[in-house]
């Protein structure tokens, strides 16, 4: 449609020029009547034609950009639906399998029953987390997510978070290291902070090499608290780096084994950080790891 519209515009321009040439004498009479001496009428017509052509091309280009953006977004939505369907299918299959086993086994032992029920509970939690991600992303997009910002000591929060989460990463073959830069207080929402760290650290662990290390560092730079999550993993391709915080966007090729999930994690991180009046940025080199930095305004000085 854009090409056809552009061809029609050029054709109209040609008709305009031919008309101006053939009706030269009449246009000259019109110019004298309007007080435009000599070639004045020709310059006036040329100016009007150029202005109209400029606005036509700008309008057509804008329509093309909007159409391409809408198509790109639709493709990302389709990919998202495919990914989330796949992600939900796995826990559903596990829940169904273990439930059927419990029903078919005559008298399972207490240990077997406990193992099956634990698996069912874990897979149900996994599905619940997927649903929560979709709802969180939708609320952030619609600006319906309200955060209760209260004074939070980031160094103390990070210590509690490390004690709760570090042991869970041992089974994934990734070391988790936390470094606190002294007492720092910000106005934030603890639940949102936890979700931000969960997403960033999970991403860093997923893209790390076996036996790698994920570092979470807290520091203060002037009036900003800086929380950085670093890994020594695969890194993010340079072409993908500007778009990793977009909704549904996933870096890398679709065939890569680590490329799973809904493509909502980092967009949720960016939305929550913005809601806490902060900013988030990413730095990466392919093959040398990624560093994602969250900055939040310091609430006040802490002795």
> pLDDT digit string (tens) for 111-123?
888 888 888 888 8
pLDDT computed for residue 250 by the predictor: 67
66 found inside a domain: yes
Question: Are both 225 and 261 inside the same structural domain?
Answer: yes
pTM of this structure: 0.60
Whether the CB-CB separation of 176 and 230 falls below 8 Å is answered with no
Question: Are both 66 and 89 inside the same structural domain?
Answer: no
> pLDDT digit string (tens) for 231-245?
888 788 788 877 788
Question: Are both 164 and 265 inside the same structural domain?
Answer: yes
Question: Are both 17 and 95 inside the same structural domain?
Answer: no
23 found inside a domain: yes
192 found inside a domain: yes
Question: Are both 51 and 100 inside the same structural domain?
Answer: no
Question: Are both 156 and 241 inside the same structural domain?
Answer: yes
Question: Are both 154 and 296 inside the same structural domain?
Answer: yes
Residues 175 and 158: their CA atoms lie apart, in Å, by 16
Q: Averaged over 198-225, what is the pLDDT?
A: 85
Would you place residue 109 in the very low, low, confident or very high pLDDT band (cuts 50, 70, 90)?
A: confident
- Its domain, for residue 246, covers 150-300
pLDDT computed for residue 170 by the predictor: 66
Count: domains in the chain: 3
Query: Number of C-alpha atoms within 13 angstroms, CB side, residue 197?
Result: 26
Q: Above 80 in pLDDT, residue 124?
A: yes
Question: Are both 194 and 86 inside the same structural domain?
Answer: no
Question: Are both 154 and 195 inside the same structural domain?
Answer: yes
| Residue ranges with strand state E in the chain | 150-153, 175-179, 185-188, 213-221, 224-231, 279-285, 289-300
214 found inside a domain: yes
Would you place residue 302 in the very low, low, confident or very high pLDDT band (cuts 50, 70, 90)?
A: very low
Question: Are both 133 and 197 inside the same structural domain?
Answer: no
**Which residue, of 70, 96, 125, is where some domain finishes?**
70
pLDDT computed for residue 112 by the predictor: 81
CA proximity to 184, closest of 78, 72, 295, 42: 295
Residues 76 and 137: their CA atoms lie apart, in Å, by 14
Task: Please state, for a pLDDT cut of 90, what percent of the chain lies above it.
Answer: 3
Residues 294 and 53: their CA atoms lie apart, in Å, by 46
Residues 56 and 245: their CA atoms lie apart, in Å, by 34
124 found inside a domain: yes
75 found inside a domain: no
Q: Above 60 in pLDDT, residue 256?
A: no
Q: What CATH number is associated with residue 120?
A: 1.10.287.130
Question: Are both 185 and 262 inside the same structural domain?
Answer: yes
Residues 157 and 159: their CA atoms lie apart, in Å, by 5
Question: Are both 125 and 60 inside the same structural domain?
Answer: no
**β-bridge mates for residue 81, sequence order:** none
pLDDT computed for residue 40 by the predictor: 59
Give me the chain's average pLDDT, please: 78
């Amino acid at each position: 449609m854009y090409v056809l519209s552009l061809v029609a515009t050029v054709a109209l321009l040609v008709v305009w020029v031919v008309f101006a040439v053939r009706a030269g004498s009449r246009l000259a009479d019109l110019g004298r009547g309007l007080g435009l001496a000599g070639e004045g009428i020709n310059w006036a017509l040329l100016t009007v034609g150029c202005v109209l052509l400029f606005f036509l091309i700008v309008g057509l280009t804008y329509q093309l950009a909007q159409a391409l953006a809408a198509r790109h977004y639709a493709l990302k939505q389709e990919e998202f639906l495919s990914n989330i369907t796949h992600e939900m299918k796995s826990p559903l299959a596990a829940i169904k399998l273990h439930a059927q086993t419990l029903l078919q086994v005559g008298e399972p032992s207490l240990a077997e029953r406990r193992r099956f029920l634990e698996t069912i509970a874990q897979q149900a939690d996994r599905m619940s987390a997927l649903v929560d991600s979709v709802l969180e992303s939708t609320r952030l997009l619609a600006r319906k997510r309200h955060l209760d910002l209260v004074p939070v000591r980031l160094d103390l929060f990070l210590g509690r978070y490390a004690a709760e989460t570090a042991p869970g990463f041992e089974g994934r073959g990734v070391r988790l290291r936390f470094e606190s830069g002294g007492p720092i207080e910000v106005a934030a929402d603890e639940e949102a902070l936890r979700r931000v760290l969960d997403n960033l650290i999970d991403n860093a662990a997923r893209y790390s090499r076996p036996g790698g290390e994920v570092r979470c560092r807290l520091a203060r730079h002037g009036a900003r608290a800086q929380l950085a999550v670093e890994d020594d993993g695969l890194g993010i391709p340079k072409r993908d780096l500007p778009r990793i915080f977009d909704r549904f966007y996933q870096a890398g090729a679709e065939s890569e084994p680590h490329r799973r999930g809904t493509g909502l994690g980092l967009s949720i991180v960016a939305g929550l950080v913005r809601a806490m009046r902060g900013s988030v940025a990413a730095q990466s080199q392919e093959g040398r790891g990624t560093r994602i930095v969250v900055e939040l305004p310091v609430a006040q000085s802490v002795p």
